[in-house]
Structure 1
Amino acid sequence: MVAKSPEDLPSQDEFLSMSGLEAMQKMANGETAGPPIAHLLNYRLTEVADGRVVFTGTPTFQTTNPMGTVHGGWYGTVLDSCMACAVMTKVPRGSVYTTLEYKINILRPIPLGTQVQAIGVAQHVGRSTGIANGEIVGVEDGKLYATGSTTCIVMKIR
């Protein structure tokens, strides 16, 4: 399920009543809507575990640059999603997080129509920061297309 309007997303109170892992599990199970950007860029949440998140997607022509190759923003968005959501799985009830900074390394172009997995793994999540790494890997060819790292800020709201 993808959010089509702000009303489709959990309220702040609902969100803060769950741990990050619970929120991600509800999204993976279709109990709450996923982010609209995932639909726009053709990727979806496919796995959630404590400290680990996987998105599966396929870049389309709409995600290419003027040279006809997949735009770096697609790599960055998908890696930001998997890495930050891996941090989210470690965030306690009453807290939120957001990406503070991230870095990506594009190793090779993803051919259009190639299904990939973006795998995010939390390395550390404390009271105020979370660190995670990510990879984009081809589902069929097993090639490593990009890597990334992120630092997220964790904020206690309640």
Structure 2
Amino acid sequence: MTNLKIAETPNDLPSQEDLLSMSGLEFMQAMLRGELSAPPISGVLNYRAYSAEEGRVAFRGTPQFEYTNPMGTLHGGWYGTLLDSCMACAVMTTVPKGSFYTTLEYKINITRTIPMGMEVEAVGTIQHAGRSTGVSMGEIRGVADGKLYATGSTTCLIMKGR
């Protein structure tokens, strides 16, 4: 379990100085302990970082009616945002102190619709951690049923801070 707290104002977000003063793994673990605030998007879209170790990050979330498309099924953007978060954070766990990253591109494949109100786990795992890029893959699976709901891959750009 985590002590995650969600940023409610811009002032709640970690500063660039905070980010650059620790490795990406240290940053993620500080966020899980509640020492740094998580980004507000995780509160808006009802998902949370759950665990972080080098090369692997897991999130859990539950889609709600507010995230449906006109057909009444879960909007693909929810899958994409959750996968982007877990995959990019997996890259983050390999980023050295004094550097930061951003998503360069990502792709998702939705295999089935997640039922509203069903808890899922999204796990991102590192595939490549280099000096200037990181590549990871992700999966969304149902917590209760273990079924695969979506997969993804990402490439992140790693940059040195100033």
TM superposition shift of 1:157: 1.4
Say whether residues 1:77 and 2:87 are aligned partners: no
- TM-score, structure 2 as length reference: 0.96
Distance 1:98 1:114 in 2: 29
One of 38, 41, 51 as aligned partner of 2:45: 41
The residue aligned with 2:110 is 106
TM superposition shift of 1:15: 1.0
Distance 1:114 1:143 in 2: 12
AA of the residue aligned to 1:15? L
Q: Where do residues 4-153 of structure 1 align in structure 2 (5 Å cutoff)?
A: 4-153=8-157
Segments of 4+ moved more than 3 angstroms: none
Distance 1:124 1:25 in 2: 21
**Unpaired runs of at least 5, structure 1:** none
Distance 1:138 1:2 in 2: 24
TM superposition shift of 1:101: 0.2
Secondary structure of the residue aligned to 2:19 is: helix
The residue aligned with 1:154 is 158
Distance 1:87 1:14 in 2: 18
Secondary structure of the residue aligned to 1:108 is: coil
Identical columns (%): 67
RMSD: 0.6
Distance 2:117 2:68 in 1: 12
TM superposition shift of 1:155: 0.4
Distance 1:82 1:27 in 2: 14
* Matched residue count: 158
Distance 1:14 1:157 in 2: 11
Secondary structure of the residue aligned to 2:112 is: coil
AA of the residue aligned to 1:63? Y
The residue aligned with 1:3 is 7
Distance 1:141 1:13 in 2: 42
**Unpaired runs of at least 5, structure 2:** none
